[in-house]
Amino acid sequence: MDAGASGTIGHYSFEEKRRRIFAIMAASSGNLVEWFDFYVYSFTTIYFASSFFPKTYTTVQQYLYSALVFAIGFLMRPIGGWMFGKIADRRGRKTSLVISVVMMCAGSLMVACLPTYQQIGFAAPLLLLFARMVQGLSVGGEYGATATYLSEVALRGERGFYSSFQYVTLIGGQLLAVLVVFVLQQILDEAQLKEFGWRIPFVIGAVTAVVALLLRRTLHETAREADLKSSEAGSFAAIWRDHRAAFLTVLGYTAGGSLIFYTFTTYMQKYLITTAHMPKTTATNISLVTLFVYMCMQPLFGMLSDRIGRRRSMMLFGALGALSTVPLMTAIGSAGSPVVAGVLICVALAIISLYTSVSAIVKAEMFPAQVRALGVGVGYGIANAIFGGSAESVALLLKDWKIESAFFWYVTVMMVIVFLVSTRLPKVASYLHTDH
């Protein structure tokens, strides 16, 4: 499938549209599996934290150390973005997508089979850390290659809508992770979940990865042979020399976007338990409903961006995020009612959808084809590792220091930066319309 077709063909046959929709679903299936595997760690931490750290630690400390392992996995993302970005720009998007899902499968199986701290001592958390690093490497490569593939296979004039499916499946992975935990909570008691139940989601992730692998093997390559053979293909030196402003812009808005995203998704479950003082099952139920609503929002906000433009969407995101974070987090923490907390979280997620629905396409539109996957993957990976991956750890650490509200203001400051950086975004896409 020609990467430039979406920018040069004025009318599309039913067969062409059907083929592109199938390609998006096949690429996105692996995205869902990878993010399910990655996020299931966060949602099952409340059950397995005590298995990998000494029982003398308090619950908050066990959550904190588990969150630090989660954060260290994020540090592998820039490396994954660089490695898989070079593969995607030099060997093709399909090759990169296939390899990344295989690595995620391996990491998930590893976590499912790990012995506990009681069995092998400090080797247990070290092995857990290694498995998370493998998964972090895989997800780091997944984002850039998927964003690039979806942007290149999308129809012109509908790219916001098509690219929104990256976060539909990303959130779908989170949702599936919460759903699996919810089902396990219905059939197993807390003791069983802590003993062996937490391993089941990781086995499920490994099995579904095989299905995603088979689907991805059917993908058509979107990269043109001339771009793959270009002397600048997969060259970070070329990005830094010719596209430095675009790269720094991606770093700037991804930093705040990742931070607020993880605040209201993965961290929110623990926030509802430790600050709003809700039962674990209630927190899981709230996460399940709000993530489903959030997932459904993505195509709607993607279509909105096709009408009002990416720049305006991003500026609205930065402004509304800066104004609402402190009041929303404060209100959720004292909500008392699961319904009220759920509604407030949905308000926050609607604001974040202005960013997540177009995140992939905004990044992809800023780089030419020969360095697109590398530019998107590394830029995203660095900012996500520093700010997204540390969200839980920073929040829990400040809570442990009795200054929890400082975290809300930290997110607010980052959203102000997002607004300022978003003003630098081009009003019209530079590359996807003119590459070929």
pLDDT at 30: 75
pLDDT (tens digit per residue) in 199-240: 999 999 888 888 888 888 777 777 788 778 877 887 888 899
pLDDT digits (tens, 9 = 90+) for 145-163: 888 887 777 667 677 887 7
Give the domains, in start order, of the chain with CATH numbers. 16-221+235-422 (1.20.1250.20)
Please give the pLDDT value at position 206. 87
pLDDT in tens, 383-398: 988 898 788 889 988 9
Please state, in angstroms and rounded to a whole number, the distance separating the CA atoms of residues 390 and 394.
Answer: 6
**Which pLDDT does position 356 carry in this prediction?**
93
pLDDT tens for each residue of 316-333 = 999 999 999 999 999 999
Task: Report the mean per-residue pLDDT for the chain.
Answer: 83
Per the rule left: phi > 0, alpha: psi between -120 and 50, beta: everything else, 277 is left
Of residues 120 and 162, more confidence is placed in: 120
| Cα(435)–Cα(421) distance, integer angstroms | 25
Measure Cα distances from 241 to 232, 236, 365, 380, 432 in Å: 11, 8, 18, 18, 20
* pLDDT at position 377 over 50: yes
DSSP 8-64: H-SS--HHHHHHHHHHHHHHHHHHHHHHHHHHHHHHHHHHHHHHHS-TTS-HHHHHH
- Cα–Cα distance for residue pair 371/88, rounded to 1 Å: 9
Q: How far apart are CA 374 and CA 362, in angstroms?
A: 14
Query: Given a cut of 80, is residue 46 above it in pLDDT?
Result: no
Side chain identity at 49, as an amino acid letter? A
Distance (Å, whole) CA 425 – CA 260 = 20
Q: What are the pLDDT digits (tens) for 254-277?
A: 999 999 999 998 889 889 998 999
Q: How much is the pLDDT for 126?
A: 84
* Burial of residue 214, with CB atoms counted within 10 A of its CB: 0-12 exposed, 13-18 middle, 19 or more buried: exposed
Q: Return the half-sphere exposure (C-beta side, CA atoms, 13 A cut-off) of residue 381.
A: 29
